[in-house]
Structure 1
Amino acid sequence: MLQNTDIRHNWTREEADAIYNKPFMDLLFEAQTIHRKYFDPNQVQRSKLLSIKTGGCAEDCAYCSQSARNGSKLSAKKMIEVQQVIAKARKAKEGGATRYCMGAAWTSPKDRDMDALTAMVAGVKELGMETCMTLGMLDEEQVFRLRDSGLDYYNHNIDTSERYYSEIITTRTFADRLDTLNLVRESGMKVCAGGIVGMGEQQMDRVDMLVTLATLVEHPDSVPVNMLIPAADTPLADVKPLDPIEFVRTVALARILMPKSHVRLSAGRTDMSDEMQAMCFFAGANSIFVGDTLLTADNPEEDKDAALFDKLGIMAMAAGCTGEKDQLAG
């Protein structure tokens, strides 16, 4: 019997843990039923991600090849030019992407960067695409400048549970992440926030991460679920891979706890079989990144995604379309 399908913000860890550990077929059935209530199950939103400033980051995130503290051989580069970003966005739109995400490897943007960042947002918006940025922590003034330039989404992942967070990052706190998300939400921009699994965490950490997001004042509009891509020269380079069924369970729990959010099947798809990705879509994932790279990591090439979509009968979500069923929007 299907329960707890209303939008809730008072989930407990005990409730979420019980859902996560249901018999697998029951879990997938519940997730798919909720998914169908709020979305067209055969539509997936496509985003393109560009690294606008690569390498040399002062943070010590244990998973990241761009951290200057991890001994990475990835050299630091300057932020790319505004017109180059817009040209790449135009190409992404021609390839079918409807949302353009721009990411920078730093703790937070400096004041001198803001004019270029807002110009990038305005330029991509003029192409008719949704805009998203991930720039680290923001202060109130930066949030409002980005909003006023037309930024639709701001991505700031919480990465993992509060319990496990200090095992992965020490240069900023879990509370810092939530503070930035709160500023973004209060500004009226849409929040994109998820995390990474397969970092050596326990099951409770995957559950707690999603409960944290599902108990925010408003659920994130977009929830990326990333599978760790172990990067050479990082502390997690040799971590044991997460069992694929555990990953699918995580996607299903995200869908059940946050019924109206787009759940994005993000990093790690190059190591997923077609069958695993299909299970993730059945479990409620309805957004992906397209293109052959995600910041500095590999991603499936677009023709491979097109072939998978064709095989599964999945259509790309149109630009400006939320994917929500009209009678439930609001």
Structure 2
Amino acid sequence: MSPEADRPSADPDIRHDWTIAEILDLLQTPLLDLLHQAQTLHRRHNPGNHIQLATLLSVKTGGCAENCAYCPQSAHYETPVAKEPTLGVTEVLTQAQAAKDQGATRFCMGWAWREIQDGPAFDAMVAMVEGVKSLGLEACVTAGMLKASQAERLAAAGLTAYNHNLDTSPEYYGEIITTRTYGDRLQTLAHVRQAGMTVCSGGIIGLGETLGDRAQMLQILANLSPHPESVPINTLVAVAGTPLQDQAPVDPLDLVRMCAVARITMPKARVRLSAGRRQLSREAQVLCFMAGANSMFYGDKLLTTDNPDRQQDLELLAAIGAKPLEPFQDLPH
């Protein structure tokens, strides 16, 4: 946490001193009361019923050295996801243009790596970032651990945000991943922030964690100063061949609660509905928006996971009177 965390905020809604007990209490608040609190804060800090549409493309698929128990791209498991050739710059920018034409305003690119290696692959990533920004889109990258020098180079290329999720609490983390530490994740977030980029970091529910684990993950995110600008809330999509293949589905109301508490603790963040949205009914998604979610992944795929149909998403936004957020709105300059 940066030194700014100890300074009083000019906005009393913005705090960086949340306790696990406070957040656990919020997660257990009667749902209607929790929704009212979250929606009140949401309207105060995010007026206009705008929802960001972000498209996520897998640039490098499969063969990852990490052993994340939820991930079908890990080389440690036999899953339906095969290792594929890495996409080239031209193909990625073609898909970025298509995403823009279909209404997306943030283009996110993912590489199944443990960490970025300097060299031709990183050079190509930088070129992709420059190309996406030239299209007028926000550009986001997720590619594992990141060195300070690499963060600075991506920032110079115009990268809007770097995604690196915490996934769960520090205590439960070792049950899910052993090929890197929680401290490694926090170090990458620090490099991103120090380079002047915005931070995209959230987590996953449904991994077998406790309510206390969810509270601690949110506490760590909410006590970063400044808060992450984007907070993806994922629900596990159990994939055959992974250690979590038999995990029970998440109750959609648990996701609603996570969105609400993320909104209360990080009032200005873009809280993003991410993996697992295809399993949600329209009504469950609307409850998430009521709880303060104001971003969602938009497009047929999230890396290797199916996502709702674009047209269905546009119809849903129209039905609730929401509007797509224009790029670069409400981001620090």
TM-score after normalising by structure 1? 0.95
Which residue does 1:52 correspond to in 2?
Answer: 59
Which residue does 1:181 correspond to in 2?
Answer: 189
Q: Which of the numbers 76, 95, 105 marks the counterpart of 1:88?
A: 95
Comparing 290-299 and 77-86, the one that deviates more: 77-86
Shift of residue 319 of structure 1? 2.2
Whether 2:114 is the aligned partner of 1:103: answer: no
Distance 1:215 1:224 in 2: 16
Distance 1:149 1:10 in 2: 34
Which residue does 2:29 correspond to in 1?
Answer: 22
Which residue does 1:274 correspond to in 2?
Answer: 282
SS at structure 2 position matched to 1:320: coil
Shift of residue 73 of structure 1? 3.8
Shift of residue 41 of structure 1? 5.2
Letter of the 1:96 counterpart: G
Comparing 117-126 and 71-80, the one that deviates more: 71-80
The runs of at least 4 aligned residues of structure 1 exceeding 4 Å deviation read none
Letter of the 2:151 counterpart: V
Report the count of equivalent residues: 322
Distance 1:69 1:212 in 2: 29
Letter of the 1:43 counterpart: H
Q: CA RMSD for the aligned pairs?
A: 1.4
Distance 1:120 1:261 in 2: 26
Shift of residue 5 of structure 1? 5.6
Shift of residue 18 of structure 1? 1.3
Which residue does 1:219 correspond to in 2?
Answer: 227
Shift of residue 313 of structure 1? 1.1
Q: Which of the numbers 128, 139, 147 marks the counterpart of 2:136?
A: 128
Letter of the 2:156 counterpart: D
Unaligned runs of 5+ in 2: 1-10
Distance 2:328 2:219 in 1: 28
Shift of residue 142 of structure 1? 0.9
SS at structure 2 position matched to 1:200: coil
Which residue does 1:67 correspond to in 2?
Answer: 74
Letter of the 2:231 counterpart: V
Contact 1:50 1:295 in 2 (8 A): yes
Whether 2:84 is the aligned partner of 1:77: answer: yes
TM-score after normalising by structure 2? 0.94
> CA separation of 1:41/1:210 partners in 2, compared to 1, >3 Å: closer, same or farther?
farther
Q: Which of the numbers 207, 229, 242 marks the counterpart of 1:234?
A: 242
**Could you give the per-residue CA deviations for residues 111-168 of structure 1, whole angstroms, max 9, x where no partner exists?**
1212101000001111011100001001111111111111010000000111110010
Whether 2:260 is the aligned partner of 1:263: answer: no
Contact 1:153 1:190 in 2 (8 A): yes
Distance 1:109 1:139 in 2: 8
Whether 2:15 is the aligned partner of 1:8: answer: yes
Letter of the 1:161 counterpart: S
